[in-house]
């Protein structure tokens, strides 16, 4: 089968011809992958910059969608499935076949047509589950309003929609004028442009007026301290994912002690592992039901991978994702 | 009675003659205060810089020791007692009489002589309970080594002794050469001088070698980020108390997400309130048993307060506490 293999972390990737993985029918399905996205976290992983390194050689790709090719329950063979990797297996979804742990899959209604819309189902986990994890934090802290930066990212957009459904207000920070209306259209309460001359002032005022309590910080850098400072008491800065190299600065210890604010990180796989299987089922059901609405993925380009385009696509996926995902096509 | 009253937060304090407070015999004892320390948190409180402001006029002083003057159980009258304030009453210990909530007192063995050593019992809460709270965090995180800055402070010294009793290693950071041996003498594992030329290097090396996991940060400033960066995975920066105006800088989001480290504050009264009454009893017993050993207080000066010396003593207590506490004497 074809597989995008990582021989050494950080090296150029190659499309290799490798054996179809063995699968364990008790715990796993074998999935014929149709589409797999290139997420920023995938790129960090293949570069060796992710929180986790697996033994080499390894295969890239944390998630995708496809068809069940092998299963102990034969009636499932041929069903459409969304699936994702976890820390326990050394396979990725950037390949023709992927052995998925059963609990890391969502089997879809068999009526979905295999037309060219099926790539819409390729991002079931990284972004949707992160948005659900963000909602989890909001509920624990009983927050009424949150701040998101890099708000036009996939996870930013899904979070805005999910929070809007739950009547949680969002203050969305973007870096480009043309993203503003777009985020209002999907339900953002306030959209602020960080390049505005009076951004600092607007930001502080909007946070205070709306009593924002949680700040999901994808960027770090100069505004993190300012936003943290202005959050409600018992508020939280939640660092996640898709960083620039910026550090978080200007944290006032008074906020930590007397305002009982906290600074934490959100690591999707740890969060999901800690959930009981019943709650995991509920989350999967929620994502399945809203995969084409709240959790819909904008796709910029779907490409059959080859040795020539794969490294270029990875670069584009990291630096040019504002218009949507780059998706690898394993159907052809 | 005499009372050091705060008419407006931040104004000069005055020794006033006020009515002896009424007390509620169901929940309270009335204590004749003998000795009450001037802690940094007291100074922040009277300046209006503490996390909590009570209605004015208010009386300063969070803790002290004295004699039970009134109680529903008459057999307790005359007993020595250590006591502290909480958020529910608008009285402080910088006065002849203090109505204490029963749960905020430790009644002492009646055999303690009322000689001039009784001022040793004036600091039962702020520092000892903070040290116990620090141990609580160490246990939750299963840490084997911790870092303390401003380590020659009362709470620093008590923490070093308490951790040493529990075989938890301590890396103590001080700013003066003469404090080094002193902290080794009470059980510090490593004492580092922050004015050393190679301090950064020593610090990183010592943290890594000892796998330090918790950093109790009383100062903020340039080293906070460096220490946080080098803590073990799932480690924690705990901000507390006695700050300079320094901010915490240079926090790497990677540490938050993929190393699952956290930044929190420790607010003594919130921590203590959250404990059940059984655990509160255990903590009080621990502090009582070790009040002249692990939790002993170094006293620099014990003074009868008057209008002339009180503001001066407060200044000294904040800026010159390296040799021990300034204590107010209400016995004369």
pLDDT digits over A5-25, tens only? Answer: 999 998 999 999 999 999 999
Residue-level pLDDT at A242: 61
Handedness of CA A69, A44, A315, A152 (dihedral sign): positive
Count other Cβ atoms within 10 Å, centred on residue B183.
22
The tens digit of pLDDT for each residue in A66-111 reads 999 999 999 999 999 999 998 788 899 999 999 999 999 999 976 6
**Neighbouring C-alpha atoms within 13 Å toward the C-beta of A329:** 15
- For residues B31 and B325, is the Cβ–Cβ distance under 8 A? no
pLDDT at A112 over 80: no
| d(C-alpha B110, C-alpha B103), whole Å | 19
Alpha helices in chain B (DSSP H): 40-47, 126-141, 154-165, 179-185, 199-209, 222-230, 253-257, 268-273, 277-289, 310-319
- Collect all residues from A whose CB is shorter than 8 A from any CB in B: 50-52, 217, 220, 225, 239-241, 243, 246-267, 270
The answer, yes or no, to whether residue A50 has pLDDT greater than 90, is no
In whole angstroms, what is the distance from residue B207 CA to residue B194 CA? 14
A212-226 in b/e form (b: 16+ CB < 10 A) is bbbbbbbbbbebbbe
pLDDT of residue B113: 65
Least confident of A119-123, A156-160, B112-116, B265-269: B112-116
pLDDT at B242: 61
pLDDT confidence bin for A266, thresholds 50/70/90: very high
User: B179 in helix, strand or coil?
Assistant: helix
Q: Give me A66's structure tokens.
A: 């496809």
Q: Look at the block and give the residue holding tokens 């001088």.
A: B193
Contacts of A81 (CB under 8 A, 6+ apart): A29, A31, A65, A66, A67, A68, A100, A105, A106, A107, A108
Say what the pLDDT of residue B112 is.
Answer: 65
Tell me, what's the pLDDT at A117? 84
Give dist(CA B290, CA B55) in Å, integer: 35
Per-residue pLDDT, B244? 67
Residue among B257, B261, B270 with most chain A CBs within 10 A, to mutate: B257
Dist. CA B227–CA B222, nearest whole Å = 10
> Residue A91's closest CA among A112, A111, A69, A62?
A62
Interchain CB distance below 8 Å, B51 and A270:
no
Contact between A250 and B249 using a beta-carbon 8 Å cutoff: yes
Which residue(s) pair with B20 in the sheet?
A: none
The shortest C-alpha distance from B17 to chain A (Å) reads 32
Across the interface, of A217, A240, A256, the residue whose CB is closest to B263 is A256
Tell whether the model's pLDDT for residue A328 goes beyond 70: yes
SS3 readout for B110-141: CCCCCCCCHHHHCCCCHHHHHHHHHHHHHHHH
Instruction: Indicate the SS3 state at residue A301.
Output: strand
Answer whether A60's CB lies under 8 Å from A12's CB. Answer: no
Query: What is the block-wise mean pLDDT of chain B (332 residues), using blocks of 10 residues?
Result: 93 93 94 95 87 87 96 94 89 96 89 74 96 98 97 95 97 95 97 96 98 95 93 97 79 92 94 93 95 93 92 89 88 91
pLDDT of residue A225: 94
Contact B287, B129 (CB under 8 A): yes
Q: What is the distance in angstroms between the Cα of A66 and the nearest Cα belonging to chain B?
A: 29
**A219 to chain B: closest CA residue:** B253
* Residues comprising chain B, all counted: 332
Nearest to B270 among A239, A249, A260 (CB): A260
Tokens of A103: 């609990």
Q: What is the C-alpha to C-alpha distance for residues A5 and A60, in angstroms, rounded to an integer?
A: 6
Nearest residue on chain A to B226, alpha-carbon basis: A247
Residue B96: per-residue pLDDT: 97
CA distance B52 to B58: 12
For residue range B105-159, what is the model confidence (pLDDT) as tens digits?
999 976 666 666 899 999 999 999 999 999 999 999 999 999 999 999 999 999 9
List of E strands, chain A:
2-6, 14-17, 28-37, 58-59, 63-70, 80-84, 97-101, 105-107, 145-148, 169-174, 190-193, 214-217, 236-240, 262-266, 299-303, 325-329
- pLDDT tens, position by position, A291-306: 999 999 999 999 999 9
pLDDT tier at A246 (50, 70, 90 boundaries)? confident
pLDDT at B114: 63
| Distance to chain A for B266, nearest Cα, Å | 5
Domains and CATH numbers, chain B: 2-124+295-329 (3.90.180.10), 127-270 (3.40.50.720)
Is the CB of residue A151 less than 8 Å from the CB of residue A173?
yes
- Residue of chain A with shortest Cα separation from B233: A51
Pairing of strands B325-329, B299-303: parallel
Q: Which pLDDT score, from 0 to 100, does residue A221 have?
A: 85
| Burial of A191 per CB tally in 10 Å (0-12, 13-18, 19+) | buried
What is the pLDDT of chain A when averaged over all its residues?
93
What is the spatial distance between Cα B58 and Cα B290, in angstroms, rounded to a whole number? 32
pLDDT digits (tens, 9 = 90+) for A165-207: 999 999 999 999 999 999 999 999 999 999 999 999 999 999 9
pLDDT at residue A251 is higher than 80: yes
Q: Are B233 and B142 in contact (CB under 8 A)?
A: no
Give chain A's length. 332
> Which of B253, B271, B272 to mutate to test binding with chain A, by most A CBs within 10 Å of its CB?
B253
Chain B hits for A250, CB-CB cut-off 8 Å, are 247-249
Of B51, B251, B255, the CB nearest to A258: B51
Q: Do B257 and A239 touch (CB under 8 A)?
A: yes
Inter-chain touch A247–B251, beta carbons under 8 Å: yes
């Amino acid at each position: 089968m074809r597989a995008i293999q990582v021989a050494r972390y950080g090296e150029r990737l190659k499309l290799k011809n490798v054996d179809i993985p063995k699968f364990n029918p008790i715990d796993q399905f074998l999935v014929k992958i149709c589409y797999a996205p290139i997420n920023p976290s995938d790129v960090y992983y293949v570069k060796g910059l992710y929180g986790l390194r697996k033994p080499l050689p390894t295969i890239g790709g944390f998630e995708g969608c496809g068809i069940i090719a092998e299963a102990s329950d034969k009636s499932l063979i041929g069903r459409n499935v969304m699936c994702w990797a976890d820390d326990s297996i050394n396979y990725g979804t950037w390949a023709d076949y992927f052995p998925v742990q059963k609990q890391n899959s969502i089997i879809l209604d068999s009526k979905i047509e295999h037309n060219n819309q099926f790539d819409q189902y390729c991002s079931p986990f990284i972004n949707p589950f992160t948005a659900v994890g963000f909602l989890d934090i909001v509920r624990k802290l009983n927050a009424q309003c949150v701040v998101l930066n890099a708000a036009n990212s996939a996870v930013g957009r899904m979070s805005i929609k999910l929070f809007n459904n739950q009547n949680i207000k969002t203050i969305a920070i973007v870096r480009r004028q043309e993203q503003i209306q777009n985020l209002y259209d999907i339900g953002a309460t306030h959209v602020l442009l960080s390049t505005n001359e009076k951004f600092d002032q607007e930001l502080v005022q909007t946070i205070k007026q709306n009593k924002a309590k949680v700040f999901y910080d994808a960027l770090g850098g100069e505004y993190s301290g300012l936003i943290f400072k202005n959050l409600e008491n018992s508020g939280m800065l939640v660092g996640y994912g898709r960083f620039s190299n910026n550090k978080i600065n200007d944290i006032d210890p008074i906020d930590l002690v007397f305002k009982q604010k906290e600074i934490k990180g959100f690591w999707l796989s740890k969060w999901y592992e800690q959930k009981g299987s019943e709650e995991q089922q509920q989350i999967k059901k929620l994502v399945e039901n809203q995969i084409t609405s709240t959790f819909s993925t904008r796709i910029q380009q779907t490409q059959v991978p080859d040795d020539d385009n794969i490294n270029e696509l990875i670069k584009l996926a990291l630096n040019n994702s504002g218009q949507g995902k780059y998706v690898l096509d394993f159907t052809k």
